[in-house]
Structures are given as structure tokens and as C-alpha cells.
Amino acid sequence: MKAPAIQDLTELDAVIELASLARDIARHDRLYHAKDQPEITDAEYDALVARNRALEARFPHLIRSDSPSRRVGAPVAEGFAKSRHGEPMLSLDNVFSPEEFIDFCKRIRRFLGLAETEALAFVGEPKIDGLSINLLYENGAFIKGATRGDGAEGEDVTANLLTIPSLPQHLKQPFPASIEIRGEVFMEKADFINFRATQEEAAEAREARRAAGEKLGDAVVIPANPRNAAAGSLRQLDPRITATRPLKLLAYAMGAASEAPAETHHDFLDELRRWGFAVNPLSRRLQSEDAAESFQAEIGAGRAALAYDIDGVVYKLDRIDWQRRLGFVGRAPRWAVAWKFPAEQAVTKLLDIEIQVGRTGALTPRAVMEPVNVGGVVVRHATLHNEDEIARKDVRIGDTVMLQRAGDVIPQILGVVLEKRSTDAQPYAFPLNCPACGSHAIRDGEDVVRRCTGGLTCPAQTTERLRHFVSRRAMDIEGLGEENIQTLFDAGLIKSPADIFRLHQKREILAGFEGWGERNRTPNSWGGIITAWKPGALP
């Protein structure tokens, strides 16, 4: 549902929504910064933050003490010592268009009292999607390293950082007596794909051992994207594990320092290189803000070919004395901004088209593709919607296709790269029978969807209906996810929703299932519901 226009909100509406946004953004901050398990995309998160900012601008007297605009990141995760930064590690405000960037520059001029004719020199740097870190050097020696955390203090990951080959342990003279260097730990796309494949193999081997009755420890984590892989690798409690991960480090900024090593940010990047840090070679000094739009287009055009994921370009005012005068507002500096890219596209090969059968009998085609990294996520599947969509786009098995994650979330095929089509490629023939039960699949009137006529005799429809019944939007029964429903159905224990409430009669059978021992039974868990239907049947 589209959010109401801010100008139409009453103060009570604003109070309620600001409370909701503070809660939701804090939760997503914890998932992203502390757990490396984001549930929404960067674009969706940015939209929440922008909505909160707009509400606060409209109702400044309602700004909360726990407002997202007043904090950065999330509290330090358990398992690591805390490390306080000498200077706060701020996040960045975002812009998405030339007009918004121009407004950003106007705010700088107003604050500094500059004439419109005075050029603002910037340094543009690709915004790598990794884990921000703070490195403390004293007398040229690396002393300590920490994650961003909540902006004021982060997790002490010094031992893990020492395993990264590109981290200088000693700076080349001359250097300040004390200085904090900010950088990004990341994993390149090719390394991530190889690492993910290794994790998938380990997960399969673990599952085979589990099936054989072996008792195992924690599950193997398969990261969704390079950012999660890098963050999870750096946050290993055992540095020996971090040492096996292909992590890289790029330095890009300065925190607290006993003395300023340069007068401009561009010169500071040169100092970083001289000290032994890797600095992004695509960083460039722009003589005025007028050059930003073309630089943005240049970096965006080459984005897919980069070895690492980026989601935009960071523009920093070059003069450090102006940076100091501008300071920051809320949780972001006034002198820097991230200009974000639109959804990323990629090219890959269509290997097959699978047909999935839903609870209403709808046959939905799904593309199976060679794995490709799109916007930081490895994509193997994409929806093709229906047979008319396949015909309209003339998608054929073996085709090279253009792929995009709609809203950076749902993978979809935009079209076919016809010049790469094989001469023997044949149009796809949509099945006229259900692949699950063999019943006729028909289209009713002008309906674009072909449906299985098997009804409840179709196992695919039955299991999908059971999944819907226990889902959050229906009965919201905890613990009966997709895999458990399939396991119970395959074992012949449930064929209809009513069978779920008879499972207490199958206690001995369930106890024999691997991993199905006694568990905590909250009122809305499936174990709790069974107990409620037959009190005392389960302890």
C-alpha cells in the first residue's frame, strides 16, 4: 500500500509513523550491521530513511530521541570487545538524480557563504558494497581495527584484520603520531562465487552426514551476496577462519588524527598510497560539481565489468578545511554524499524453463540460468510470469538474456540478446499437462494463466495449499515451513489442514525423524497448537 502524502498527515499520524519507522529502521540496522542478514534491499532501506527524514522536516517538533537520523549502524554484536572510535564514523545521505546533487551543492554554498560563481572541487570515489572499518595507527604502527558499529564504537576485529594481506602493519614515513584510517573490507565477485560454491558443497556434505545420523554443530552459512560474505568472514570469532577467506581492503578516508597530513582529500588519497594502502584507482578529482554527472555516467557504464560490487559514487568536497567548517548534521556529513545507481542489469544464459504449480493450480514458468551476480546477489532463477510473456519476449532455452532485479529485489528477464541466439534455437512449447500429476492444464476464456485441472489429486496443489494454510498470512503456525510441510506430506502424515491437528497421534513416527526432537512450544507454534488440541499429549 502506498504511504499517504506527508502534507496530508495530522500530527497524530506523524507521531505513529515516526515511532513505526524508528522501530523498523533500528531492526534493519541490526540485521545489516550486526547480523549480516539484511531482509530488505538498500533501495528499500533508503526509502524508509528518506520517509523518516521528510516527516521530521515537516514536523521538527516531533523528532524522537531514538530517531534514525540521530544514529549510525547498530550496537556491537556479542562475541567481540567494544572499541570506541576517536572520531565518529558517519553514514552518508543519498541522492539519486542530477537535480538532487545540485541541491546538495547549493546547501554547501549557503553554509559556507560562497558565491555561485565559485567552483566546488570534489573527489568522486566508487562506493564499494562491503564492511566499513576503522584502523588506528600510532607512531606508524597498526594498533587496532574496528567495525563501524553504532558510529561511536564498533567491534574490535584487530586479529581478523591482520589476516588481510593488503593491510599495512607499518606506515612509511613521514606520518602523524596518531591517525585513524577508514576503509572498506570486501570480497570480489569472482572470489564470492567460488566461495559460495565451496559453502554449498560443504552444506551438501553436512546434510549427507546428518542424514546418516551424525550429530553436527552449527549449519554452514551460504551468504547471499559479496557484502554478507565479507562481513561474515571478518566477524569470525576464530581468525584462522578469516585467514582462509579472500578478503581485500581499500582505504578512502581519515578519522581522528594528531595532525592533518594533507590540505585536500585528493592529496590525502596520495598519502594513503604512499603509506602502503590500496586506494581505488577509479577515484578522481573533479574540478567542479559540473563534472559529477558525466563521472557518474562513466562509472555506471563500467559498473558491470568491475571486479567488485558498487551501488553508487561517493562525492567528497576536496578541501579539508571546508569539510571541517561544514561538519555534520544528524548522522551524516554536510560535505559528502552518495549518488546511488538505478537497478543493476546483467547478461547470462538461459539453461532451462521449469514449470511450478501453485495452490490454485496455476502453472508458472521459472527461468533457470547460469549463476550471475546482479546488484550484489547471485541469481540463478527468474520468473517468466506466464506463457504469453514467454511468447512476447520470444525467450528460448539456450538464449543469452538480459536480467534485472526489479527494484533491486525480484529477478526478471528484460529480453533476449538476439545476436547471440543459436541458429537451432526453438520456440518454447508450454506444457498442456500438469508436470506434477499429468492432468490437463487449460486456460479459461481470456485468462493468461494455464491451470491444472487435477484439484486436490494434484500433489503440488495440495502441498502449496498446506503451505498457505500455515503461513503468516493465514494461521501463522511457527515451525511448519516449506521443508517441514514437504517432509510431512511425503511421509503421508498430512494431506489436508485437518491432519495438522492430528499429528499428536503420530508422535512416535515424528520422534524418529532426524532433528524432530522435543522443542519449545509457544502458543502459535505447531507443537503448541497440537498440545492445545489434546492437552497433555505432549510435555
Strand arrangement of the beta sheet that strand 336-340 belongs to: 94-95, 336-340, 310-317, 122-128, 284-286
Domain boundaries 345-431, corresponding CATH code = 2.40.50.140
Q: pLDDT tens digit string along 316-364?
A: 999 999 999 999 887 789 999 999 987 777 889 999 999 999 888 889 8
For this structure, is 127 an active site residue? yes
Q: Determine the pLDDT at residue 31.
A: 75
Q: Is omega for the bond preceding 174 within 30 degrees of 0, making it cis?
A: yes
Residue whose C-alpha cell reads 537451432 in the numeric block: 424
**Which stretch of DSSP H or E encloses residue 191?**
helix 189-211
Q: Determine the pLDDT at residue 536.
A: 36
Q: What is the DSSP string of 269-323?
A: HHHHHHHT----TT-EEESSGGGHHHHHHHHHHTGGGSSS-EEEEEEEESBHHHH
Domain residues of the chain, as ranges?
A: 6-70, 82-190+226-340, 345-431, 458-533
What is the SS3 assignment for 154? strand
**Which stretch of DSSP H or E encloses residue 404?**
strand 400-406
Q: What distance in Å separates the CA atoms of residue 77 and residue 236, rounded to the nearest whole number?
A: 12
Q: Determine the pLDDT at residue 395.
A: 94
How is residue 42 written as a grid cell?
Answer: 538498500
**In the chain, what percentage of residues exceed pLDDT 90?**
40
Contact indicator for 100, 106 with CB cutoff of 8 Å: no
Cα atoms in the Cβ-side hemisphere of radius 13 Å centred on 495:
5
How is residue 135 written as a grid cell?
Answer: 584502523
Query: Do 458-533 and 82-190+226-340 have the same topology in CATH?
Result: no
Q: What distance in Å separates the CA atoms of residue 255 and residue 261, rounded to the nearest whole number?
A: 12
Q: What distance in Å separates the CA atoms of residue 326 and residue 334, rounded to the nearest whole number?
A: 6
Q: What distance in Å separates the CA atoms of residue 530 and residue 525, rounded to the nearest whole number?
A: 9
Q: pLDDT tens digit string along 297-317?
A: 999 888 878 899 888 999 999
Residue type, 66: D
Q: Considering only the top CATH level, what class is 82-190+226-340?
A: alpha beta
Of 399, 401, 456, the residue nearest 423 (C-alpha): 399
pLDDT in tens for each of the 539 residues of the chain?
A: 567 888 888 888 888 888 888 888 888 877 776 665 677 776 777 788 888 888 888 888 888 877 877 665 555 555 678 899 999 888 899 998 999 999 999 999 999 999 988 889 999 999 998 899 999 999 999 999 999 988 888 999 999 999 998 899 999 999 999 999 999 999 998 899 889 888 888 877 777 777 677 766 666 777 878 888 899 899 888 888 899 999 999 999 999 999 989 999 999 999 999 999 999 999 999 999 999 999 999 998 888 788 998 889 999 999 999 999 999 887 789 999 999 987 777 889 999 999 999 888 889 899 999 988 776 677 888 888 888 989 999 999 999 998 886 544 568 888 899 999 988 888 999 999 999 999 999 988 777 889 999 988 898 888 888 888 887 667 777 667 767 787 888 788 888 888 888 887 877 787 777 656 555 455 455 555 444 444 333 33
Q: What distance in Å separates the CA atoms of residue 337 and residue 90, rounded to the nearest whole number?
A: 11
Architecture per CATH, domain 6-70, reads as Orthogonal Bundle (1.10)
Residue whose C-alpha cell reads 510441510 in the numeric block: 485
- For residue 49, what are the CA distances in angstroms to 57, 71, 91, 419? 12, 12, 12, 43
Do the strands 441-442 and 400-406 form a parallel or antiparallel pair, or are they unpaired? unpaired
Q: pLDDT tens digit string along 127-171?
A: 998 899 999 999 999 999 999 988 888 999 999 999 998 899 999
Residue type, 138: E
Q: What distance in Å separates the CA atoms of residue 373 and residue 345, rounded to the nearest whole number?
A: 9
Please report, in angstroms and rounded to a whole number, the separation of the first and last CA atoms in the chain: 43
Task: Given the residues 35, 82, 127, 172, select the one marked as catalytic.
Answer: 127
Q: Determine the pLDDT at residue 509.
A: 81
How is residue 490 written as a grid cell?
Answer: 511425503
Q: Determine the pLDDT at residue 377.
A: 72
Cα atoms in the Cβ-side hemisphere of radius 13 Å centred on 156:
9
Of 366, 341, 276, 349, the residue nearest 129 (C-alpha): 341
Q: Determine the pLDDT at residue 414.
A: 85
Q: At 104, give phi and psi (nearest 5°).
A: -60, -45
Domain boundaries 458-533, corresponding CATH code = 1.10.150.20
3-state SS of 78-134 is: CCCCEEECCCCCCCCCEECCHHHHHHHHHHHHHHHCCCCCCCCCEEEEEEECCEEEE
Burial of residue 254 (CB within 10 Å: 0-12, 13-18, 19+) is buried
